[in-house]
Amino acid sequence: MRTKSFLLSCVFLLLLTGAEAQPVLKGRHPNILFLFTDDQRFSTIGRLGLEPVHTPNLDELCRQGTVFTQAHIMGGLQGAICMPSRAMLMTGKSLFHQRKDGSYIAETDIMMPQFFRQQGYATFVTGKWHNGAAALNRAFASGDNIYLGGMHLYETGGHLTPILSHYDSTGGYKNKFTGDHFSTIYYADAAIDFINRQKNSDQPFFAYVAFTTPHDPRTPPKEFLDLYDTVNTKLPPNFLLQHPFDNGELQVRDEVLLPIPRDTAAVKADIARYYAMISEADHEIGRIIQALKATGQYENTIIVFAGDNGLAVGQHGLLGKQSLYEHSIRVPLVMAGPGIKKDNSYNGYVYLYDVFATLREATGFKSHIQDDGISFAKALENLSFRQRDHLFFVYANLQRGVKKNGLKLIRYNVNGASKTQLFDLNKDPYEMKDVSGDSRYQTTLKELTRLLYAAMKENGDFCDPQKPDWGYPGKLTGNIWTKLFP
């Protein structure tokens, strides 16, 4: 049962918040269940009708809540985009306010689960954590089946034999164990055990379930692979045999998983495996949600589903996420629960790192945390609400982009060569036609260029568009991130 001190603190917090802003969600503070996938692009929920993916549980979550169709990440400074993406999500701070591109989170940065832990929530973690063990233990009071790292390695059996840790209160995490079944099952089992333990507790909880799928190695169980035709799976409309120019990252690990130029049969098979991995994760998500219902906690739980970044898997001749195209920077985001509109979609621009501020406002907690996230809690009730006017995107010192009113500008700085792309996403959602040379778009090109330069300056970008080669003519490598963002 909730302690007397916890009740008093909640009453005090409610008194503080009442004068300034009313919480979206009324009554007892709700539980929060955060479901996070790895490398899942925005279009891979079956209900959206954009790709033929079998996701019955995510489809139902969409029916029970609101889909944010224009959710994005800001990007990253090196190939492992998931690391800064997760750090941004946790801290509510943008890319250039992360330490070493998110490889660790400073003690001065209050993380989302840490904040709710301070408000009296029981906090729990299972699955992937890519931002340092010390930060994990500050954020969560408990957990199990934790994966500390970026991906399950091919050399150690990938998802089939995941190397995991039990929660270690000392923060050492030296006693790892090797699993004997698929990674997502371990994460779902741990989450279900936690939910069952909370059944008779009045203390609200924040449970973070971070799947390591559909990140490669893509080895889905047969029952899920059998849902797809590895031979006749359709290629995306913007499939190319290879990317038409050097974007600065054509030889990164992700891009050499298949030969270049791309073999259509190999790409089709990989797309099928990608879909199957998503379907497998969807199945485990269904098990977790069913546990909420069985324990009577579903009606008072905010469920957030999201992905840490997208993935090309053949689009634009690419396989990975080291680009600023829609398939890489847009992510799935669904929120469901008390006070949230059902069976609706919201097309306003949001960043993934806006979720922290949104949950603080939605649950009625006053906060003086200084972060970069902008709450979109009002959109949970009012779908016409708009918060962000435009979005700014980054990849290393090689690519910069800005998006406004369905128009997107991407600039490249690769080995002394510059390149510009302009896409009208309203007419060309797959970014197949660069209109930067079209006379009808020259005013737009100039306006977005000015906006991009202003965004770079406003966000504290180390690249300077006024300098030749932005001040960095070659790809930044080695420990440059340690020097730039210690």
CATH number of the structural domain 4-380: 3.40.720.10
Cβ pair 258, 319 in contact under 8 A: yes
Cβ pair 392, 450 in contact under 8 A: no
Q: Are strands 350-351 and 391-395 parallel, antiparallel or unpaired?
A: unpaired
Torsions phi, psi for 18 (to 5 deg): -60, -35
Whole-angstrom Cα distance, residue 97 to residue 267? 37
Alpha carbon of 385 to those of 154, 304, 376: distances in Å? Answer: 45, 19, 8
> Which pLDDT value is given to residue 294?
98
Whole-angstrom Cα distance, residue 323 to residue 312? 9
The pair of structure tokens assigned to 149 is: 């790292």
Which amino acid appears at position 320 of this protein? G
Residue 468: how many CB atoms within 10 A of its CB? 11
The pair of structure tokens assigned to 370 is: 């200084």
For Cα atoms 287, 290, 292, give the angle at the middle one, nearest 5 degrees. 115
Domain 391-484: give its CATH architecture.
2-Layer Sandwich (3.30)
Q: What is the DSSP string of 215-278?
A: SSS----HHHHTTS-TTTPPPPTTB-SS-SS--S-TTSGGGGSS-SSPPHHHHHHHHHHHHHHH
Partners of 163 in beta bridges: 178
> Which pLDDT value is given to residue 457?
96
For tokens 């990140």, the residue is: 215
> Which pLDDT value is given to residue 51?
98
* Domain span(s) for CATH 3.30.1120.10 in the chain: 391-484
Go through the chain and tell me how many residues it has. Answer: 486
**pLDDT mean for each 10 residues of the chain (486 residues):** 38 34 55 98 98 98 97 96 98 96 94 97 98 97 98 97 98 96 98 97 97 98 98 97 97 97 98 98 98 98 98 98 98 96 95 97 88 93 88 97 98 95 98 98 98 97 93 78 71
Alpha carbon of 212 to those of 229, 338, 423, 460: distances in Å? Answer: 24, 28, 32, 31
> Which pLDDT value is given to residue 3?
38
Which amino acid appears at position 127 of this protein? G
> Which pLDDT value is given to residue 31?
98
* Domain span(s) for CATH 3.40.720.10 in the chain: 4-380
The pair of structure tokens assigned to 375 is: 């709450």
For tokens 């957990």, the residue is: 143
